[in-house]
Structure 1
């Protein structure tokens, strides 16, 4: 029995195997954030043959204020939808399912990129970048929540199979999640219940936009691996709340430590996080983290450390990696 090539169903999303391609920024979009020919060619190459069951598109900004970098994909305006339909179609024709990841950079944004004032949960230095953002008001939070809602609507209109909310790698929702960057004293700060209030509001808004049958994923930076930062215990409590709020799949990564874990050298280095979270939820959990051999993916699934395996850099370097991995297991 091969675990990696076993189908799995997450409510309204059925996947033919357990291999996914996690989001990786390409900086290949047009200047205005629309899908370019380079983007189409890139995802065509990565999805060819349909060996990857699910491809999660790189993070896309929900508003100009939330743009993380130049030539980042946009999901901020209705005029991007037509080109995004082409992208979804390319991936579907190749036999894979497609997800868009939607994001606000928060204090990880730069005024020289956005032309806007940098914002965050609290007016303290960003733990990784050092810049001090303007503290968001409750009205600002309401506006950003609506931006997530509108972005999710566009994802569905573009023909994608699901939408993923980004709360990892030191971006805005992750900034609310982490006590390193969230020092608020109102209902959006304090203990973990306060720090995920915005997440629950975003999930509710996104669900209203896409309907009951459209899958929603959430990428969670489940530990900062930094003194005073978020911990796996925080994430276990949050994961249960997210499942109850309607999240269909949890995609686990690092927080302010980024997509790497300090000092880690083994494949699947986030597996202690996914194993702990998997024990407290009933929805599928995605594990990423330096996995580059099919037999390791098999072992991690067999040991029930995750339900789905994300392979990023190996597929980035070798577009035939998925084909070789799947065929080696048949």
Structure 2
């Protein structure tokens, strides 16, 4: 690591927040809020990462409205959620880490069976995975969504969060406006990339106006989504440049892929087709086994697999820090990110496997993650997200004590046992 590279394990400033190091626990669906509220299980989940050494942990996908949910059991950021969220933030702070709330509206990914309403998109669209119809969102509804993000950010402030992460990736509603494949509008929210970037800029501006300098504001932004004719690096760079020029964000976390089609473009590595088939309705299982890899995509894993795209954004940023994501599993990867000009790194699967990995890397630079990228953790989102290779997470931490059987006292006793 060069002398100019920051120490990844030393304190770092993220907007108004001082983090103890530059490692962020990335948002990973949790499945620990079955009623849409904070549970002790969710608190323990994030306290584990805090005790394990991360600078900040991220609560995954907090809905800005009930119509913006993408799956059951997600926390809705309203006043009723504040007491539970405050218990969560206090627990994480007590373990020495900061905590961020990821704010999202699912848009084309919001299932009607869950929300009770037809999903919305920039233009009429049919989800190629679910075949669900999405209607075009109206202008007045766009204004409502912007306010919902702002209101959710205020809830985060009230609950004691240190940051919010605005989900502008994975073809959820804000991200879908960036996609020329989905956004075919003729008004000021459609057309060239400057117009298609209008919604994410307005959300970021409104959120910053509400939170001021009380908390940090991060955006998760797609560099490309893996769909032909959709988001790619050239236009994503322009969106990032526009957001940077507005100076409304403290950091941008760069990501790839979508929740609409071929999700393995985000994850890379093994495709857990058999495991996904098991959690599907019986009539769908044969089709999942046969077509699963085609629908999910099949992309080999490699370390730092987002770096080649992400490094294009480093010279563009003047006001905004960058967070590197994707295939970061050891100290060498983190130091590479620092040398390349990134300010923070985000880790997901490696920390699911070992919540205390940051502490281990700090104590021993040669430590290697035990995550083998089997991706079976993806399927656990239908229950409680966990690493399937960790017995404590899969079966529970309590191990029953088996008493050693006593030796028989006579042949008759032995025959009766």
Does the pair score TM above 0.5? yes
Q: C-alpha separation between the residues in 2 aligned to 1:30 and 1:132?
A: 27
Alignment of 1:38-187 (within 5 A): 38-49=41-52, 51-75=53-77, 77-187=78-188
Q: C-alpha separation between the residues in 2 aligned to 1:19 and 1:279?
A: 22
Which stretch of the first structure deviates more once superposed, 3-12 or 13-22?
3-12
Task: Give the aligned CA root-mean-square deviation in angstroms.
Answer: 1.8
Question: Which of 18, 25, 46 in structure 2 is aligned with 1:21?
Answer: 25
Give TM-score, length-normalised by structure 2: 0.75
Aligned to 1:229: 230
Q: CA deviation digits over 1:230-266, x for unaligned, max 9?
A: 1112121111211222111001111425433663422
2:360 aligned with 1:294, yes or no? no
Question: Which of 254, 257, 271 in structure 1 is aligned with 2:256?
Answer: 254
Give the CA deviation at 1:82.
Answer: 0.8
Aligned to 1:303: 340
Aligned to 2:359: 323
> How many residue pairs align between the two structures?
326
Q: C-alpha separation between the residues in 2 aligned to 1:278 and 1:243?
A: 11
- Could you tell me which runs of 5 or more consecutive residues in structure 2 were left unpaired when the two chains were aligned: 269-297, 367-417
Change (3 A) 1:179 1:130: farther
Give yes or no for contact 1:110–1:118 (8 Å, CA) kept in 2: yes
Secondary structure at the counterpart of residue 102 of structure 1: strand
Q: C-alpha separation between the residues in 2 aligned to 1:307 and 1:170?
A: 25
Give the CA deviation at 1:128.
Answer: 4.5
Give yes or no for contact 1:5–1:329 (8 Å, CA) kept in 2: no
Secondary structure at the counterpart of residue 13 of structure 2: strand
Give yes or no for contact 1:3–1:302 (8 Å, CA) kept in 2: no
Q: C-alpha separation between the residues in 2 aligned to 1:255 and 1:247?
A: 22
Give the CA deviation at 1:93.
Answer: 0.5
Give yes or no for contact 2:118–2:133 (8 Å, CA) kept in 1: no
Q: C-alpha separation between the residues in 1 aligned to 2:145 and 2:171?
A: 17
Q: C-alpha separation between the residues in 1 aligned to 2:253 and 2:41?
A: 26
Question: Which of 30, 34, 37 in structure 2 is aligned with 1:34?
Answer: 37
Q: C-alpha separation between the residues in 1 aligned to 2:20 and 2:308?
A: 26
The structure with more radius of gyration: 2
Aligned to 2:322: 285
Q: C-alpha separation between the residues in 2 aligned to 1:39 and 1:188?
A: 37
Alignment of 1:173-212 (within 5 A): 173-212=174-213
Q: C-alpha separation between the residues in 2 aligned to 1:124 and 1:30?
A: 30
Aligned to 2:271: none
- Could you tell me which runs of 5 or more consecutive residues in structure 1 were left unpaired when the two chains were aligned: none
Q: C-alpha separation between the residues in 2 aligned to 1:294 and 1:110?
A: 39
